Amino acid sequence: MAKINFGDVVEEVVTREEFPLKKAREVLKDEVIAILGYGVQGPAQALNLKDNGFNVIVGQRKNSSSWEKALADGWVEGKNLFEIEEAAKRGTIVCFLLSDAGQIEVWPKIKKYLTKGKALYFSHGFGITFSKETGIVPPKDIDVILVAPKGAGRSVRQHFLAGRGINASFAIYQDATGKAKDRVLAMGIGIGAGYLFPTTFKKEVYSDLVGERGVLMGALAGIMEAQYELFRKKGHSPSEAFNETVEELTQSLMPMVGEKGMDWMYANCSTTAQRGALDWKGKFKKAVMPVFKELYQKVASGYEARRVIRKNRQKNYRQKLEKELAKMRNSEMWQAGAKVRELRPENQK
Protein backbone atom coordinates (compact mmCIF):
# COMPACT_ATOMS: atom_id res chain seq x y z
CA MET A 1 0.00 0.00 0.00
CA ALA A 2 1.21 3.50 -0.83
CA LYS A 3 1.64 6.04 1.97
CA ILE A 4 -0.03 9.37 1.30
CA ASN A 5 0.59 12.41 3.47
CA PHE A 6 -2.62 14.30 4.28
CA GLY A 7 -1.09 17.15 6.26
CA ASP A 8 -0.33 15.72 9.71
CA VAL A 9 -1.96 12.39 8.89
CA VAL A 10 -0.28 9.62 6.89
CA GLU A 11 -2.77 7.29 5.22
CA GLU A 12 -2.15 4.05 3.37
CA VAL A 13 -4.04 3.72 0.09
CA VAL A 14 -4.01 1.37 -2.90
CA THR A 15 -3.48 2.81 -6.38
CA ARG A 16 -3.79 1.32 -9.84
CA GLU A 17 -0.03 1.50 -10.15
CA GLU A 18 0.62 -0.96 -7.32
CA PHE A 19 -2.46 -3.09 -8.03
CA PRO A 20 -2.89 -2.88 -11.82
CA LEU A 21 -5.84 -4.23 -13.78
CA LYS A 22 -3.68 -7.10 -15.04
CA LYS A 23 -3.14 -8.27 -11.47
CA ALA A 24 -6.85 -7.92 -10.70
CA ARG A 25 -7.70 -10.12 -13.67
CA GLU A 26 -5.23 -12.73 -12.49
CA VAL A 27 -6.70 -12.74 -8.96
CA LEU A 28 -10.28 -13.15 -10.22
CA LYS A 29 -9.64 -15.32 -13.28
CA ASP A 30 -11.51 -18.32 -11.84
CA GLU A 31 -14.29 -16.34 -10.18
CA VAL A 32 -17.88 -15.87 -11.30
CA ILE A 33 -18.94 -12.41 -10.17
CA ALA A 34 -22.70 -12.34 -9.57
CA ILE A 35 -24.19 -8.84 -9.36
CA LEU A 36 -27.47 -9.08 -7.44
CA GLY A 37 -29.57 -6.01 -8.10
CA TYR A 38 -29.64 -3.76 -11.16
CA GLY A 39 -30.81 -0.47 -9.70
CA VAL A 40 -28.28 2.18 -8.61
CA GLN A 41 -24.80 0.64 -8.26
CA GLY A 42 -25.55 -2.65 -10.03
CA PRO A 43 -25.52 -1.49 -13.66
CA ALA A 44 -22.32 0.56 -13.34
CA GLN A 45 -20.32 -2.07 -11.48
CA ALA A 46 -21.55 -4.92 -13.65
CA LEU A 47 -20.81 -3.12 -16.92
CA ASN A 48 -17.43 -1.81 -15.75
CA LEU A 49 -16.35 -5.29 -14.64
CA LYS A 50 -17.59 -6.80 -17.89
CA ASP A 51 -15.79 -4.17 -19.98
CA ASN A 52 -12.62 -4.84 -18.00
CA GLY A 53 -12.71 -8.50 -18.95
CA PHE A 54 -14.14 -10.21 -15.86
CA ASN A 55 -16.66 -13.06 -15.80
CA VAL A 56 -19.85 -11.31 -14.70
CA ILE A 57 -23.46 -12.40 -14.40
CA VAL A 58 -26.47 -10.37 -13.24
CA GLY A 59 -29.25 -11.46 -10.92
CA GLN A 60 -32.51 -9.51 -10.98
CA ARG A 61 -36.23 -10.08 -10.49
CA LYS A 62 -37.65 -11.21 -13.82
CA ASN A 63 -40.03 -8.91 -15.68
CA SER A 64 -39.19 -5.94 -13.42
CA SER A 65 -38.16 -2.58 -14.86
CA SER A 66 -34.58 -3.35 -13.79
CA TRP A 67 -34.73 -6.70 -15.63
CA GLU A 68 -35.75 -4.84 -18.77
CA LYS A 69 -32.95 -2.33 -18.23
CA ALA A 70 -30.45 -5.19 -17.96
CA LEU A 71 -31.70 -6.63 -21.24
CA ALA A 72 -31.41 -3.20 -22.87
CA ASP A 73 -27.81 -2.98 -21.61
CA GLY A 74 -26.92 -6.18 -23.44
CA TRP A 75 -27.23 -8.85 -20.74
CA VAL A 76 -28.71 -12.05 -22.13
CA GLU A 77 -31.26 -14.17 -20.26
CA GLY A 78 -29.92 -17.64 -19.52
CA LYS A 79 -26.37 -16.64 -20.49
CA ASN A 80 -25.37 -13.88 -18.09
CA LEU A 81 -28.77 -12.68 -16.79
CA PHE A 82 -30.66 -14.80 -14.29
CA GLU A 83 -33.20 -14.66 -11.50
CA ILE A 84 -31.59 -13.53 -8.23
CA GLU A 85 -31.43 -16.97 -6.60
CA GLU A 86 -29.96 -18.61 -9.68
CA ALA A 87 -27.27 -15.93 -9.95
CA ALA A 88 -26.42 -16.35 -6.25
CA LYS A 89 -26.08 -20.08 -6.80
CA ARG A 90 -23.77 -19.66 -9.80
CA GLY A 91 -21.61 -16.87 -8.35
CA THR A 92 -18.40 -17.34 -6.39
CA ILE A 93 -18.30 -13.64 -5.50
CA VAL A 94 -21.88 -12.64 -4.73
CA CYS A 95 -22.30 -8.86 -4.93
CA PHE A 96 -25.24 -7.82 -2.78
CA LEU A 97 -26.14 -4.55 -4.52
CA LEU A 98 -29.86 -4.47 -3.88
CA SER A 99 -31.25 -1.55 -1.89
CA ASP A 100 -31.01 -1.88 1.89
CA ALA A 101 -34.71 -2.79 2.01
CA GLY A 102 -34.24 -5.23 -0.87
CA GLN A 103 -31.32 -6.91 0.91
CA ILE A 104 -33.47 -7.53 4.00
CA GLU A 105 -36.21 -9.05 1.85
CA VAL A 106 -33.96 -11.27 -0.27
CA TRP A 107 -31.43 -12.37 2.37
CA PRO A 108 -33.34 -15.49 3.54
CA LYS A 109 -33.56 -16.68 -0.07
CA ILE A 110 -29.88 -16.30 -0.99
CA LYS A 111 -28.14 -17.20 2.26
CA LYS A 112 -28.26 -20.92 1.45
CA TYR A 113 -26.21 -20.33 -1.70
CA LEU A 114 -23.32 -18.73 0.22
CA THR A 115 -21.37 -21.94 0.49
CA LYS A 116 -17.88 -22.43 1.89
CA GLY A 117 -15.15 -20.42 0.15
CA LYS A 118 -17.43 -17.94 -1.60
CA ALA A 119 -17.25 -14.20 -1.04
CA LEU A 120 -20.16 -11.93 -0.13
CA TYR A 121 -19.51 -8.41 -1.44
CA PHE A 122 -21.22 -5.17 -0.44
CA SER A 123 -20.95 -1.55 -1.50
CA HIS A 124 -22.56 -0.32 1.70
CA GLY A 125 -22.01 -1.39 5.29
CA PHE A 126 -25.67 -1.05 6.32
CA GLY A 127 -26.78 -4.69 6.25
CA ILE A 128 -23.81 -6.02 8.22
CA THR A 129 -23.39 -3.14 10.69
CA PHE A 130 -27.06 -3.08 11.65
CA SER A 131 -27.49 -6.85 11.58
CA LYS A 132 -29.87 -6.78 14.57
CA GLU A 133 -32.23 -4.69 12.48
CA THR A 134 -31.60 -6.36 9.10
CA GLY A 135 -31.12 -10.01 10.08
CA ILE A 136 -28.12 -10.24 7.74
CA VAL A 137 -25.59 -12.51 9.47
CA PRO A 138 -23.25 -14.23 6.97
CA PRO A 139 -21.94 -17.81 7.37
CA LYS A 140 -18.53 -18.03 9.07
CA ASP A 141 -16.84 -19.95 6.22
CA ILE A 142 -17.11 -17.24 3.54
CA ASP A 143 -15.27 -13.97 2.90
CA VAL A 144 -17.27 -10.80 3.55
CA ILE A 145 -15.85 -7.75 1.77
CA LEU A 146 -16.83 -4.24 0.74
CA VAL A 147 -15.95 -1.72 -1.97
CA ALA A 148 -17.88 1.53 -1.66
CA PRO A 149 -17.47 3.98 -4.57
CA LYS A 150 -17.72 7.59 -3.42
CA GLY A 151 -20.27 8.43 -6.04
CA ALA A 152 -23.65 7.38 -7.40
CA GLY A 153 -23.77 4.49 -9.86
CA ARG A 154 -24.35 6.87 -12.76
CA SER A 155 -21.13 8.71 -11.90
CA VAL A 156 -19.21 5.44 -11.50
CA ARG A 157 -20.13 4.49 -15.06
CA GLN A 158 -19.62 7.93 -16.59
CA HIS A 159 -16.18 8.32 -15.05
CA PHE A 160 -15.21 4.85 -16.25
CA LEU A 161 -16.29 5.59 -19.82
CA ALA A 162 -14.35 8.86 -19.69
CA GLY A 163 -11.19 7.00 -18.67
CA ARG A 164 -11.28 8.31 -15.12
CA GLY A 165 -12.32 6.67 -11.86
CA ILE A 166 -14.38 7.29 -8.75
CA ASN A 167 -12.41 6.87 -5.52
CA ALA A 168 -13.65 4.06 -3.29
CA SER A 169 -13.20 2.71 0.22
CA PHE A 170 -12.66 -0.98 0.91
CA ALA A 171 -13.14 -3.16 3.98
CA ILE A 172 -12.85 -6.77 5.08
CA TYR A 173 -15.38 -7.95 7.64
CA GLN A 174 -14.52 -11.62 7.43
CA ASP A 175 -11.54 -13.42 5.86
CA ALA A 176 -12.37 -17.12 5.83
CA THR A 177 -10.24 -18.11 2.83
CA GLY A 178 -7.11 -16.03 3.31
CA LYS A 179 -7.86 -14.44 -0.08
CA ALA A 180 -10.21 -11.70 1.06
CA LYS A 181 -7.75 -8.83 0.65
CA ASP A 182 -6.73 -9.79 -2.87
CA ARG A 183 -10.37 -10.36 -3.76
CA VAL A 184 -11.56 -6.99 -2.46
CA LEU A 185 -8.71 -5.01 -4.04
CA ALA A 186 -9.22 -6.78 -7.38
CA MET A 187 -12.92 -5.95 -7.26
CA GLY A 188 -12.16 -2.30 -6.52
CA ILE A 189 -9.74 -2.04 -9.43
CA GLY A 190 -12.15 -4.04 -11.59
CA ILE A 191 -15.01 -1.56 -11.13
CA GLY A 192 -12.63 1.27 -12.06
CA ALA A 193 -11.85 2.90 -8.72
CA GLY A 194 -9.45 5.85 -8.90
CA TYR A 195 -7.75 4.76 -5.70
CA LEU A 196 -8.83 2.62 -2.74
CA PHE A 197 -8.62 3.61 0.91
CA PRO A 198 -9.22 1.27 3.85
CA THR A 199 -12.17 1.53 6.21
CA THR A 200 -14.47 -0.77 8.19
CA PHE A 201 -18.08 -1.70 7.51
CA LYS A 202 -19.13 0.39 10.52
CA LYS A 203 -17.13 3.50 9.56
CA GLU A 204 -18.33 3.25 5.96
CA VAL A 205 -22.00 3.22 6.90
CA TYR A 206 -21.61 5.91 9.56
CA SER A 207 -19.86 8.28 7.14
CA ASP A 208 -22.25 7.40 4.33
CA LEU A 209 -25.46 7.97 6.28
CA VAL A 210 -24.15 11.18 7.85
CA GLY A 211 -22.85 12.42 4.50
CA GLU A 212 -26.14 11.78 2.68
CA ARG A 213 -28.15 13.52 5.38
CA GLY A 214 -25.52 16.23 5.68
CA VAL A 215 -23.34 18.00 3.12
CA LEU A 216 -24.05 15.74 0.16
CA MET A 217 -27.85 15.98 0.11
CA GLY A 218 -29.86 16.97 3.18
CA ALA A 219 -27.87 19.98 4.38
CA LEU A 220 -27.17 21.14 0.83
CA ALA A 221 -30.85 21.12 -0.12
CA GLY A 222 -31.85 22.79 3.14
CA ILE A 223 -29.29 25.59 2.84
CA MET A 224 -30.27 26.21 -0.77
CA GLU A 225 -33.95 26.44 0.13
CA ALA A 226 -33.23 28.86 3.00
CA GLN A 227 -31.19 31.24 0.84
CA TYR A 228 -33.62 31.09 -2.09
CA GLU A 229 -36.63 31.78 0.12
CA LEU A 230 -34.86 34.71 1.81
CA PHE A 231 -34.02 36.26 -1.57
CA ARG A 232 -37.61 35.93 -2.74
CA LYS A 233 -39.01 37.45 0.46
CA LYS A 234 -36.64 40.39 -0.03
CA GLY A 235 -38.01 41.01 -3.53
CA HIS A 236 -35.44 39.28 -5.75
CA SER A 237 -36.75 37.60 -8.91
CA PRO A 238 -36.82 33.77 -9.28
CA SER A 239 -34.01 34.02 -11.86
CA GLU A 240 -31.80 36.07 -9.58
CA ALA A 241 -32.56 33.94 -6.51
CA PHE A 242 -31.91 30.64 -8.30
CA ASN A 243 -28.80 31.76 -10.17
CA GLU A 244 -27.20 33.17 -7.02
CA THR A 245 -28.13 30.09 -4.98
CA VAL A 246 -27.78 27.07 -7.26
CA GLU A 247 -26.69 27.80 -10.81
CA GLU A 248 -23.47 29.63 -9.99
CA LEU A 249 -22.60 26.99 -7.37
CA THR A 250 -23.10 23.96 -9.60
CA GLN A 251 -21.97 25.37 -12.93
CA SER A 252 -19.07 27.59 -11.90
CA LEU A 253 -17.78 27.20 -8.35
CA MET A 254 -18.05 23.48 -7.54
CA PRO A 255 -16.25 22.41 -10.74
CA MET A 256 -13.35 24.60 -9.59
CA VAL A 257 -13.43 23.01 -6.13
CA GLY A 258 -13.35 19.59 -7.76
CA GLU A 259 -10.43 20.61 -9.95
CA LYS A 260 -8.05 22.08 -7.38
CA GLY A 261 -9.78 22.63 -4.04
CA MET A 262 -11.76 25.23 -2.10
CA ASP A 263 -8.77 27.57 -1.60
CA TRP A 264 -8.17 27.63 -5.36
CA MET A 265 -11.82 28.42 -6.00
CA TYR A 266 -11.62 31.26 -3.46
CA ALA A 267 -8.44 32.54 -5.13
CA ASN A 268 -10.27 32.72 -8.46
CA CYS A 269 -13.16 34.80 -7.13
CA SER A 270 -13.28 38.53 -6.47
CA THR A 271 -11.54 39.91 -3.39
CA THR A 272 -14.95 40.99 -2.09
CA ALA A 273 -16.24 37.42 -2.38
CA GLN A 274 -13.08 36.01 -0.79
CA ARG A 275 -13.23 38.32 2.23
CA GLY A 276 -16.94 37.78 2.79
CA ALA A 277 -16.71 34.00 2.48
CA LEU A 278 -13.78 33.77 4.89
CA ASP A 279 -15.51 36.03 7.42
CA TRP A 280 -18.82 34.12 7.35
CA LYS A 281 -17.53 30.54 6.99
CA GLY A 282 -16.89 30.21 10.71
CA LYS A 283 -20.37 31.45 11.60
CA PHE A 284 -21.99 28.80 9.42
CA LYS A 285 -19.71 26.09 10.82
CA LYS A 286 -20.59 27.06 14.38
CA ALA A 287 -24.30 27.10 13.53
CA VAL A 288 -24.40 23.63 11.96
CA MET A 289 -21.93 21.73 14.15
CA PRO A 290 -24.59 20.91 16.78
CA VAL A 291 -26.83 19.51 14.05
CA PHE A 292 -24.01 17.30 12.74
CA LYS A 293 -23.25 16.04 16.26
CA GLU A 294 -26.90 15.08 16.75
CA LEU A 295 -26.97 13.44 13.31
CA TYR A 296 -23.84 11.36 13.94
CA GLN A 297 -25.18 10.18 17.31
CA LYS A 298 -28.46 9.08 15.76
CA VAL A 299 -26.63 7.20 13.01
CA ALA A 300 -24.20 5.50 15.41
CA SER A 301 -26.99 4.48 17.80
CA GLY A 302 -28.88 2.69 15.04
CA TYR A 303 -31.81 5.11 15.30
CA GLU A 304 -31.54 6.21 11.67
CA ALA A 305 -31.28 2.59 10.47
CA ARG A 306 -34.38 1.54 12.43
CA ARG A 307 -36.32 4.55 11.17
CA VAL A 308 -35.38 3.92 7.53
CA ILE A 309 -36.24 0.22 7.76
CA ARG A 310 -39.59 0.98 9.42
CA LYS A 311 -40.56 3.55 6.81
CA ASN A 312 -39.40 1.43 3.86
CA ARG A 313 -41.60 -1.43 5.09
CA GLN A 314 -44.77 0.64 4.93
CA LYS A 315 -47.03 -0.58 2.13
CA ASN A 316 -47.59 2.92 0.78
CA TYR A 317 -43.96 4.04 1.13
CA ARG A 318 -43.40 4.52 -2.60
CA GLN A 319 -46.51 6.69 -2.92
CA LYS A 320 -45.47 8.82 0.06
CA LEU A 321 -41.94 9.15 -1.32
CA GLU A 322 -43.23 10.32 -4.69
CA LYS A 323 -45.39 12.94 -2.98
CA GLU A 324 -42.36 14.26 -1.09
CA LEU A 325 -40.24 14.36 -4.24
CA ALA A 326 -43.08 15.95 -6.21
CA LYS A 327 -43.39 18.68 -3.58
CA MET A 328 -39.70 19.46 -4.04
CA ARG A 329 -39.90 19.21 -7.84
CA ASN A 330 -42.96 21.48 -8.01
CA SER A 331 -41.62 24.12 -5.62
CA GLU A 332 -40.96 27.53 -7.13
CA MET A 333 -37.22 27.10 -6.57
CA TRP A 334 -36.86 23.93 -8.62
CA GLN A 335 -39.40 25.04 -11.21
CA ALA A 336 -37.17 28.08 -11.64
CA GLY A 337 -34.25 25.67 -11.93
CA ALA A 338 -35.96 23.81 -14.76
CA LYS A 339 -36.44 27.07 -16.65
CA VAL A 340 -32.86 28.18 -16.03
CA ARG A 341 -31.53 24.87 -17.38
CA GLU A 342 -33.66 25.27 -20.50
CA LEU A 343 -32.06 28.66 -21.07
CA ARG A 344 -28.48 27.42 -20.87
CA PRO A 345 -26.83 28.05 -24.27
CA GLU A 346 -26.32 24.34 -24.96
CA ASN A 347 -30.08 23.72 -24.55
CA GLN A 348 -31.23 26.52 -26.83
CA LYS A 349 -31.90 25.74 -30.45
Active site residues: 124
Among 203, 197, 157, 182, which residue's Cα sits nearest to residue 6? 197
Amino acid at the residue 153? G
Rounded to 5°, angle at Cα 166 from 162 and 172: 140
d(CA 228, CA 231): 5
Distance CA 178, CA 142 (A): 10
In 3D space, the residue among 263, 258, 229 whose CA is nearest the CA of residue 246 turns out to be 229
In 3D, which of 151, 193, 150, 142 has the Cα closest to residue 172? 142
Report the DSSP pairing between strands 2-6 and 9-15.
Answer: antiparallel
What is the length of the chain?
349
Give 33-85 as a DSSP string.
EEEE--SSHHHHHHHHHHHTT--EEEE--TTSHHHHHHHHTT--BTTTEE-HH
CA-based nearest residue to 48, from 149, 150, 154, 190: 190
Report the C-alpha gap between 34 and 26 in whole angstroms: 18
Q: Compute the distance between CA of residue 198 and CA of residue 202 in angstroms, rounded to an integer.
A: 12
